[in-house]
Amino acid sequence: MRIFYDTEFLDDGQTIDLISIGLVAEDGRELYAVSSGFDVARVHQHAWLMENVWPSLPTFKHPSTMRCHCGPGHLDTDHPDVRPRAQIARAVADFILDTPDPHLWAYFAAYDHVALAQLWGPMSNLPAGIPMQTDDLVTEAKRLGLSPRDLPQQADGHHNALADARHNLTRALHMDSITAARE
């Protein structure tokens, strides 16, 4: 069974720091988690992440809703989606291992797979049963003679890991229909 996922992360050229992950299985199960351990200060210094990823995270958006006097726009670590990395690693492992014959799929999958695998540390720590690679929806589109413009476009929710994972499923189903029509 296919699992479609997406991650949001801070990449500095040496490390990939997971911000959030969303997974959607073909049977309808979903998982969304935001790391409580990513470097918020570095994200605040990254214009693209602040413009594209930060708005979709559970944050204190107004001083009157904050439990601290640290300024607006801080991560709400009490939100149920915000979890320590170890807890996210357990939840992701359970989600994948509860899936019969899991196949991971992502859009431009290389960094997503590294961010996923690093939940358990180095690649050698990947739990048994977690796929060691992620299939790439972009590669599948190319195999079908499609460009990214030929795939369904995402109307909203860009760079929210769960919304992007749901859209990855939409892309895959579109490609499935093209494959079926050709057969």
* Predicted TM-score (pTM) of this structure: 0.91
Tokens 């069974």 correspond to what residue?
1
Please give the distance of CA 110 from its chain centroid, rounded to a whole number: 12
Tell me the pLDDT tens digit for each residue of 13-58. Answer: 888 999 999 999 999 999 999 999 999 999 999 999 999 999 999 9
CA distances, 113 to each of 106, 122, 140, 174 (Å): 8, 12, 16, 23
Q: What is the pLDDT of residue 71?
A: 42
Find out whether 23 and 124 touch, Cβ atoms under 8 Å: no
Rounded Cα distance between 21 and 16, Å, is: 13
pLDDT tens sequence for the chain (183 residues):
999 999 999 998 888 999 999 999 999 999 999 999 999 999 999 999 999 999 999 998 655 544 544 444 689 999 999 999 999 999 999 999 999 999 999 999 999 999 999 999 998 999 999 999 999 999 999 999 999 889 999 988 889 999 999 999 999 999 999 999 988
Q: Six-digit token pair at 73?
A: 């726009």
Q: What is the pLDDT of residue 157?
A: 80
